[in-house]
Structure 1
Amino acid sequence: MKYVFGDSISLISQEEGTVLVAFERGEERAFDFVVGADGVYSTVRRLAFGPHPEFVRHLGMSGVGFTTANYLGLERRGVLHSAPGQAAYVFSAGDAERMTVSLSFATDSPDIDLLDRDRQQEIARERLAGAGWEVPRLLHEMTAADDFLFSSACQVQLDRWSEGRVVLVGDAGYCAAPTSGMGTSQALIGAHSLARHLAGSPGDHTAAFHAYEEEVRPYVTENQKHGREAVAMFGG
């Protein structure tokens, strides 16, 4: 097995019995299959299935996450402050000196995920203006955080999870949104199912891909439903 770091796929070309993959920096290589497990904005999905807007469905909510000093003195507990279209959740677990912060707000596009950090922070301040409670201080702490993360609540919805010898796993194929709480579970269950069906159908990847999707899709459908319902409650 060979691991490659610091590179990215630039082209996928399928031929009978193989998949040719070109890389931005490395040489072209041939594979039996390509498994895209590279997240909501999957490069594999874009190259093999189509552009992101065809499959990424924004649910109307985005948020920032980071850690800061536990100035609230929380001890293995959390506090939620919310209003329609706004929410701040802070908790401490593991490290008593640190506090994890999640600030959520209504948005109209997942494209904010692709902006730079300065613009994302500016949008967070705009959308959380007047939120009250500890939010002004938390927004100040956000600027200094070295573990800043921005993410939108969105779902990936495709009619099929495979295209020839290319198949998708986890968020790349069926993100249920962070509000579902099932992202990691879906990825692990999906990967296990795919591997099991490939092992059980040697020489017939089409049957393996079909069995994988048939097994996992009902689970994904239910999780995506819960993800949408949680966002609807947030907006209420």
Structure 2
Amino acid sequence: MSTDRKRVLISGASIAGPALAYWLHRYGYETTIVERAPELRTGGQNVDVRGAGREVSRRMGIEDDIRAATTGEVGTRFVGRSGSVIAEFPAGTTDSGGATAELEILRGDLAQLLVSCTTNTTEYRFGDRITGIADNDGGAGDGVTVQFQHAPEERFDLVIAADGIGSSTRRLVFGDEPEIRSLGLETSYATIPRTDADDDWWRWYNAPGGRSVTLRPDPHGTIRATLSFVTDRTRERAGSERRSIEEQRRRLHEVFADAGWEAARVLEGIDTADDLYSESIGQVRAPRWSTGRVALVGDAAHCASPVSGMGTSLSLTGAYVLAGELAAHVDHRDAFRGYERIMRPYVAQAQQLPPGVPRVANPKSRLGIAAFGAAVRVASTPIIGRLGDRFFTPPADAIDLPDYAHLG
């Protein structure tokens, strides 16, 4: 690559990072992605590609590839302790509708697809991370000097943090300024063996004590399981409590031992699962997404939480808009301002969850579970179905997506 091209360092090789690299390359930037994991992390649960995010995938030319890698999930079923169906909601048939989107793909499969689109145009550095950032914006030798854990320090024109809700790159520059707001729900994810009794529905079971167990299909012959439970910590920093894998396994056994339905099977599965991951579900509320020559994108900027159904669409859309604004402006400050102006209203709507979510879907008492079951049963009926669909459909189209085609 020629040395007169602006050099951009992106931290994080999940969804937003590679998507941003794709668009920046189209606009003539030289891109490098640093990822602390030793190799691409291919694990993860189902993610939705909805609304504006789906339109971005079309403009990237990967919508058909996403469709080909779909999980095969046919909809959502709420079940009782015996497995009997309480209510069901078929998968959406539009760009945005339904608890199960028309385009469902595993996070890891989407990450692989995005990386494969950028491998020949972006330098990937796995097994390293940013440890220091000296932003000399406007000074002599304009640029950002970056220190790495392993590689020697290096200068870039811009640095973009795309390394998730707990972004260490963001912390280096913004400190604790962004609020990470816990939603009072802890969720653990793992891949477990599929059995003959499994089907292609997303099955959701509630147990007393604010606990839920879900099973979802994947295209690889296994099942993606989650164990969630309500906590009383609604204002602490999400994800602040870290446990070892063995500590988390013991904790899950303690919490879900008597939960019923498929809980025992899931607990047995997590004991040998190599991808068990736990998090305190939360949202990032950052008052600003840039300072100097450093900016945030994806969950590092505005995580709306997995319960929003909007994380992937926000990441794809934010990457598209950020790259487009950088291409449309000579001054990166103007570009960053344009990026926030366009994305802020979209993010605000995505973070505005339905009343009571996620606690309303994880009742603590048996009476609460019965009431929730009655509510979803009514919502699934043909007469009330439109209201139910609205409840499960996030605001995925709520943005006037700019057209930057003339720039690249």
- 1:47 corresponds in structure 2 to 172
Are residues 1:67 and 2:194 paired?
no
Give secondary structure in 2 for the equivalent of 1:210: helix
Question: Which residue in the other structure is 1:7 paired with?
Answer: 128
Shift of 1:126: 2.6
126-135 or 157-166, which moves further after superposition? 126-135
* Gapped regions of structure 2 (runs ≥ 5): 1-29, 31-122, 364-408
- Measured in 2, the distance between the counterparts of 1:126 and 1:112 equals 21
Distance across 2 between alignment mates of 1:64 and 1:214: 35
Residue 12 of structure 1 aligns with an amino acid whose one-letter code is: I
Q: Secondary structure at the match of 2:187?
A: strand
Q: 1:146 to 1:228 in 2, by over 3 A?
A: farther
Distance 1:228 1:63, change over 3 A: farther
Cα deviation, 1:86-115, whole Å, max 9, x if unaligned, reads 1011132434x4222111112335346632
CA contact (8 A) 1:65 1:102 kept: yes
Equivalent position SS for 1:156:
strand
Match of 1:85 in 2: 210
1:233 aligns with 2:354: no
Q: Which whole-Å deviations, capped at 9, do the CAs of 1:2-55 have from their partners, x for residues lacking one?
A: 332211111111112211111111111111110000111111100000038x52
1:150 maps to which of 278, 288, 301: 278
Task: Give me the whole-angstrom Cα distance separating, in 2, the residues matched to 1:227 and 1:18.
Answer: 43
2:40 is aligned to: none
Q: Which residue number corresponds to residue 180 of structure 1?
A: 308
Distance in structure 1 (CA, Å) of the matches to 2:240 and 2:196: 30
Root-mean-square deviation (Å): 2.0
Aligned counterparts of 2:193 and 2:345: Cα–Cα separation in 1: 42
Kindly indicate whether the alpha-carbon contact (under 8 Å) linking 2:206 and 2:362 is maintained by their aligned counterparts in 1: no
Give the Cα separation in 2 of the matches to 1:222 and 1:90: 28
| 3-state SS, counterpart of residue 44 of structure 1 | helix
Counterpart of 2:34? none
Q: TM-score, length-normalised on structure 2?
A: 0.54
Count, aligned residues: 233
Equivalent residue, structure 1, for 2:148 = 23
Assess if the C-alpha contact under 8 Å between 1:113 and 1:150 holds in 2.
Answer: no
Specify the code of the residue in structure 2 equivalent to 1:25: H
| Cα distance, 1:168 vs structure 2 | 0.1
How many angstroms apart in 2 are the aligned matches of 1:137 and 1:187?
34
CA distance in 1, matches of 2:150, 2:316: 30
Question: 1-side partners of 2:246 and 2:274: how far apart?
Answer: 13
Q: Give 1:223 deviation, angstroms.
A: 0.9
Cα deviation per residue 1:126-185 (whole Å; 9 max; x = unaligned)? 332421222123112211112222222111111100011100000001000010111111
For residue 200 of structure 1, what is the aligned residue in structure 2? Answer: 328
Per the TM alignment, residue 72 of structure 1 is displaced from its structure 2 partner at its CA by 5.6
TM-score, normalised relative to structure 1: 0.90
> What are structure 1's unaligned runs of at least 5 residues?
none
Residues 227, 125 of structure 1: CA spacing in aligned structure 2 closer, same or farther, 3 A cutoff? Answer: farther
Moved more, 16-25 or 153-162: 16-25
Are 1:132 and 2:256 matched, yes or no? no
- Counterpart Cα distance in 1 of 2:280 and 2:242: 10
1 CA distance for matches of 2:340 and 2:210?
35
Q: Matches of 1:22 and 1:140 in 2, distance apart?
A: 43
Which residue of structure 1 aligns with residue 224 of structure 2?
Answer: 100
Selected match of 2:287 from 128, 146, 159:
159
Equivalent of residue 247 in structure 2, options 93, 100, 119: 119
Comparing both structures, which one devotes a greater share of its residues to helix? 1
Conserved 8 A contact 1:70-1:98: yes
For 1:69 and 1:187, the matched residues in 2 are separated by 30
